Chain A
Amino acid sequence: MRKKVSVLTSLVLITAMLLSGCGSGGDSKSAGTTPGNASGEKVKLTAIMTKHPLTKPLAEMEWLQAVEDAAGVEIEWQEITTDYGQKKGTMLASGDIPDLFIGPNVITDADFAQFQGLFQDLSGLLDQAPNVQRMFNEKPETKLIATQPDGKIYGLPKYQRFWPASASRQFINQKWLDELGLQKPTTWDELYDVLVAFKEKDANGNGDPKDEIPMDWPGGIGGYFNPAVLLGSMGITLSEGSSQGYFVEDGQIKNFLIDERYKTMVAFLNKLYKAGLINPEVFTHDYTKYQSIARGEGDTAKVGFTWGWVASDRFGEQLAPQYASMPPLKVSADYTGDLSWSYDHYSLNYGTNHVVMSAKTKHKEAAMRFINELYDPKVGMQVLFGSIGPNIEDHGDGTYSVLPPANPEMDPGTWKWTSTMADHGAFYIPDDLQLTLGKDMQEVLGQSEPLEEALKVDLDKDVFPGLFIKYSTMDNNTMSLNNTNIMNLAESTFAKWVTKGGIEAEWDAYVKEAQKAGITQNLEIMQKYYEEYKSKK
Chain B
Amino acid sequence: MQTRKGLVHAVTRDYQLWIMILPAIIVILIFNYIPMYGIQLAFRDYDFSKGLTGGEWRGLAYFQQFIDSYLFTDLMRNTFLISLASIVLGFPAPIILALILNQIRRKKMKQLMQTTVYLPHFISVIVLVGMLNVLLSAETGVVGHLMKAVGLGHINLLASTGTFIPVYVLSDIWQHCGWNSIIYLAALSTVDPQLYDAARIDGASRWQTIRFVDIPALVPTIIILFILSMGNILSTGFEKIFLMQNSLNLPVSEVIATYVYKIGIVSSQFSLASAIGLFNTVINFIFLFAMNTISKRVSETSLF
Partner-B contacts on A (CB < 8 A): 1-4, 7, 85-86, 88-89, 92-93, 108, 110-111, 114-118, 219-221, 280-281, 283-286, 288-289, 473, 476-477, 480-481, 484-485, 487-488, 491-492, 494-496, 499, 516-518
Bound Cα distance from A517 to B71, whole angstroms: 8
Complex CA–CA separation, A500 to B159 (angstroms): 12
Q: Which residue, A89, A284, A477, A516, has most C-beta atoms of chain B within 10 A?
A: A284
B51 with A3: CB separation less than 8 A: yes
Q: A338 to nearest B CB, angstroms?
A: 30
Give the nearest-CB partner of A491 in chain B: B247
B267 touches A111 (CB 8 A): yes
List residues of B whose CB falls within 8 A of some A CB. Answer: 46, 48-54, 69-71, 130, 133-134, 137-139, 156, 158-159, 246-248, 250-251, 254, 259, 262-264, 266-270, 272
B129 shortest CB reach to chain A, Å:
8
CA–CA, A111 to B130, complex, Å?
34
Does B247 contact A485, Cβ atoms closer than 8 Å?
A: no
The reply to whether B137 and A281 contact each other, CB–CB distance below 8 Å, is yes
Residues of A within 8 A of B247 (CB): 219-221, 283, 491-492, 494-495
Assembly CA distance A280 to B139 (angstroms): 8
- Contact A473 to B158, CB < 8 A, known contacts A93-B48, A286-B133, A488-B254: no
Cα distance A4–B50 in the bound complex, in angstroms: 6
Query: With the chains together, A1 CA to B50 CA distance in Å?
Result: 8
How far apart are A306's CB and chain B's nearest CB, in angstroms? 17
Q: Find the A residue at minimum CB distance from B46.
A: A114
Q: Which residues of A contact B266 (CB under 8 A)?
A: 85-86, 88-89
Query: Given that A89-B266, A480-B264 are known contacts, is A284 also in contact with B248, CB under 8 Å in the complex?
Result: yes
Q: Which residues of A contact B254 (CB under 8 A)?
A: 488
Least CB distance from B78 to A in Å reads 11
Complex contact B159–A283 (CB within 8 A)? yes
User: In the assembled complex, how far is the CB of residue B125 from the closest CB belonging to chain A, in whole angstroms?
Assistant: 13
Please report the C-alpha to C-alpha distance between residue A85 and residue B266 in the assembled complex, in whole angstroms.
6
Given known A-B contacts A93-B48, A484-B262, A492 and B250 have beta carbons under 8 A apart: yes
Contacts A3-B51, A485-B69, A517-B70 known; A283 to B246 CB distance under 8 Å? yes
Q: Are B137 and A110 in contact (CB under 8 A)?
A: no
Nearest Cβ on chain A to B68's Cβ, whole angstroms: 11
Closest chain B CB from A487 CB (angstroms): 8
List 15 contacting pairs A-B, 8 Å CB cutoff, sorted by A: A1-B53, A3-B50, A4-B51, A117-B49, A284-B158, A284-B248, A288-B130, A477-B264, A481-B263, A484-B263, A485-B69, A487-B262, A491-B250, A492-B247, A492-B248
> From B139, which residue of chain A is reached at the shortest CB distance?
A281
Which of A88, A492, A517 has the most chain B CB atoms inside 10 A of its CB? Answer: A492
Docked Cα-Cα span, A7 to B51, in Å, equals 9
Q: How far is the CA of A456 from the CA of B280 in the complex (A)?
A: 51
A288 to chain B, nearest CB (A): 8
Nearest CB on B from A322, distance (A): 22
A292 CB to closest chain B CB (Å) equals 10
Q: A289 to B133, Cβ gap below 8 A?
A: yes
**Quick one: closest B residue to A221, CB to CB?**
B247
Complex CA–CA separation, A92 to B272 (angstroms): 17
- Nearest B residue to A485 by beta-carbon distance? B70
List the B side residues contacting A285 at CB < 8 Å.
133, 137
* Chain B residue at minimal CB-CB distance from A493: B247
Flag if B248 contacts A118 (CB, 8 Å): no
**Residues from chain A with Cβ under 8 Å of B246 in the complex:** 219, 283-284, 495
Point out the residue from B53, B70, B133 that lies within 8 Å of A516, measured CB to CB.
B70
B250 engages A116 (CB within 8 Å): no
A289 neighbours in B (Cβ, 8 Å): 133-134, 137
A286 touches B159 (CB 8 A): no
Residues of B within 8 A of A484 (CB): 71, 259, 262-264
State whether A1 touches B133 (Cβ < 8 A). Answer: no
Interface of B is mostly: loop
**B243 CB to nearest chain A CB (Å):** 9
Partner of A492, one of B52, B53, B134, B251: B251
Q: Is the CB of B248 within 8 A of A7?
A: no
B149 to chain A, nearest CB (A): 17
A496 to B251, CA, bound (A): 10
CB distance from A87 to the nearest CB of B (A): 10
Q: Kindly state the separation between the CA atoms of A118 and B47 in the bound complex, as whole angstroms.
A: 12
**A4, chain B: closest CB distance, angstroms:** 5
A376 to B88, CA, bound (A): 64
Min Cβ gap A494→B in Å is: 6
Chain A hits for B264, CB < 8 A: 477, 480, 484
Selected contact of B48 from candidates A1, A118, A499, CB within 8 Å: A118
- A116 partner, pick from B48, B69, B130, beta carbons under 8 A: B48
Bound CA–CA A492/B52 (angstroms): 38
Closest Cβ of chain B: how far from A250's Cβ, in Å? 30
Closest A residue, CB atoms, query B129:
A286
Contact B159 A488 (CB under 8 A): no
Q: Chain A contacts of B251 at CB under 8 A?
A: 492
Tell me which residues across on chain B come within 8 A of A288, comparing CB atoms.
Answer: 130
A93-B52, A284-B158, A499-B248 given; 6 more Cβ-contact pairs under 8 Å: A1-B54, A89-B267, A117-B48, A117-B49, A485-B71, A495-B248
Bound CA span A85–B273, Å: 15
Taking a contact as CB atoms closer than 8 A, the residue among A111, A118, A281, A477 that contacts B138 in the complex is A281
Chain B residues with CB under 8 Å of A1's CB are 51, 53-54
* A494 CA to B250 CA, complexed, in Å: 11
Rounded to whole Å, the gap between the CB of B22 and the closest CB of chain A is: 27
Q: How far is the CB of B128 from chain A (nearest CB, A)?
A: 13
A40 to B270, CA, bound (A): 45
Chain A residue with Cβ nearest B161:
A492
Contact A480 B263 (CB under 8 A): yes
Contacts of A496 in B (CB 8 A): 248
Q: With A3-B52, A117-B49, A485-B71 as given contacts, are A111 and B268 in contact (CB-CB < 8 Å)?
A: yes
For residue A488, which residues in chain B have a CB less than 8 angstroms away from its CB? 71, 250, 254
Residue pair B51, A281 in contact (C-beta under 8 Å): no
- Contacting residues, chain B, for A517 (C-beta < 8 A): 70
Q: A3-B54, A286-B133 are in contact. Are A518 and B138 (CB under 8 A)?
A: no
Q: What residue of chain B has the Cβ atom nearest to residue A113's Cβ?
A: B268
Least CB distance from B194 to A in Å reads 54
- Tell whether, in the assembled complex, residue A284 and residue B268 are in contact, meaning their CB atoms are under 8 Å apart: no
What separation, in Å, do the CA atoms of A219 and B264 have in the docked complex? 22
> What residue of chain B has the Cβ atom nearest to residue A476's Cβ?
B268
Task: Kindly list chain B residues whose C-beta atoms are within 8 Å of the C-beta of A89.
Answer: 266-267, 270
Least CB separation from A89: chain B residue = B266
Report Cα–Cα, A481/B49, bound state, in Å.
24
A25–B248 Cα distance when bound, in Å, is 60
Query: Closest B-chain residue to A5, C-beta based?
Result: B51
Q: Which residues from A are CB-within-8-Å of B54?
A: 1, 3-4
User: A2 contacts B138, CB within 8 Å?
Assistant: no
Chain A residues contacting B138 (CB-CB under 8 Å) are: 280-281
How far, in angstroms, from A491 to B262 measured CA to CA in the complex? 14
Q: Within the complex, what minimum Cβ distance (angstroms) separates A488 from chain B?
A: 6
Closest residue of chain A to B244, judged by CB?
A284
Closest 8 CB pairs of A and B: A3-B51, A495-B247, A85-B266, A492-B250, A485-B70, A491-B247, A480-B264, A284-B159
* Assembled-state Cα–Cα distance A290/B103 (Å): 46
